[in-house]
A = this chain, B = another copy of it.
Amino acid sequence: MNAPYYAVIFTSTLKENKGYEEEAEKMLALAKNQNGFLGFEGARQEIGISVSYWETLDDIKNWKNQSEHLLAQEKGKSDWYASYHVRITKVEREYTM
């Protein structure tokens, strides 16, 4: 990854986790096959934070509208999430150890 590229920061709290992990893994496998997918990182304690990385804003839009992902988003809203927040961000610079 070389800036500029895009990061989608998805933070959430769950009201129910039955079937959630399995679905999340399925969605990650699908995302990896999308155009422009660059990577994914996630962790959950009191809240879950998932960050996915993409080449362009169009890649993010295409993933948001992918048919199986749309169904998963609906199920997320009805069954799993107590709350969520999605931030579309542009990675301007980065450094690493």
Which chain A residues have a beta carbon within 8 Å of chain B's beta carbons? 3, 7, 9, 11, 41-49, 51, 57, 77, 81, 83-97
Contact = CB atoms under 8 A, between A and B. Distances in A.
Contacts of A87: 3, 7, 91, 93-94
A9 B11 contact: no
Chain A interface mostly: strand
Contacts of A3: 87
Contacts of A49: 41-43, 49, 51
Nearest to A82: B97
A89 to B, nearest CB: 4
Top 9 A-B residue pairs of the complex, sorted by shortest distance between their CB atoms: A89-B89, A43-B43, A43-B45, A87-B94, A49-B49, A85-B96, A90-B90, A89-B91, A43-B49
A92 B48 CA distance: 21
A1 to B, nearest CB: 9
A88 B97 contact: no
